[in-house]
């Protein structure tokens, strides 16, 4: 998210943006096209697992490929898609924007548009809180940038 914002706001240099793009391309699941909140996924065999289990509110939510531990986030992906569009990478921006829309319209609890907080990193099932306003907002931000509008840090057009 920080890299997406740095690029979107014009703070990151070209070298950093290319490095982030290459890293994100390696992480993407072509069938989901969403960016994980955190990577690599921490599993019970990893050294940081005990520390991860100690960091939660109310209940532990960070099983492998869930929530912040490898969950795929429409919010992060929408901002990243906007940064791609700002830099003229429109084809990739559209692909990722469309992935945010697909994620948001995943059915959950009998509702056709779940606007879930994240999708499971492997099964792509909606998870977390729903409906989540920031998942909807990220889609709108990505739409605006793909359509040539500029919302943050530069004159709107």
Q: Where are the domains of the chain?
A: 2-146
pLDDT digits (tens, 9 = 90+) for 91-128: 999 999 999 999 999 999 999 999 999 999 999 999 99
Q: What is the band of 133 on the pLDDT scale with cuts at 50, 70, 90?
A: very high
Q: What is the pLDDT of residue 154?
A: 64
Nearest to 37 by CA among 17, 66, 9: 66
Contact call for residues 132 and 79 (beta carbons, < 8 A): no
pLDDT digits (tens, 9 = 90+) for 74-92: 999 999 999 999 999 999 9
Residue 156 clears pLDDT 70, i.e. is over it: no
Prediction pTM value: 0.92
Contact call for residues 33 and 27 (beta carbons, < 8 A): no
Q: What is the pLDDT of residue 38?
A: 87
Q: What is the pLDDT of residue 58?
A: 83
Residues 6+ apart with CB under 8 A from 1: 37, 75, 76, 79
CATH domain 2-146 topology: Glycosyltransferase (1.50.10)
- The arithmetic mean of pLDDT across residues 52-80, rounded, is 92
């Amino acid at each position: 998210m920080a890299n997406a914002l740095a690029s979107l706001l014009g703070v990151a240099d070209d070298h950093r943006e290319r490095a982030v793009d290459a890293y994100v391309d390696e992480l993407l699941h072509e069938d989901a096209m969403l960016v994980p909140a955190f990577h690599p996924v921490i599993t019970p065999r990893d050294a940081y697992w005990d520390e991860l289990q100690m960091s939660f509110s109310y209940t532990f939510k960070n099983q492998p490929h869930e929530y912040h531990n490898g969950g795929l986030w429409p919010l992060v992906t929408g901002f990243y898609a906007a940064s791609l569009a700002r830099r003229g990478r429109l084809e990739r921006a559209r692909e990722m924007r469309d992935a945010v829309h697909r994620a948001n319209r995943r059915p959950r609890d009998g509702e056709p548009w779940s606007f879930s907080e994240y999708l499971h990193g492997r099964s792509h099932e909606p998870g977390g809180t729903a409906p989540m306003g920031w998942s909807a907002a990220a889609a709108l931000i990505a739409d605006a940038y793909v359509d040539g509008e500029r919302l943050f840090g530069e004159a709107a057009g």
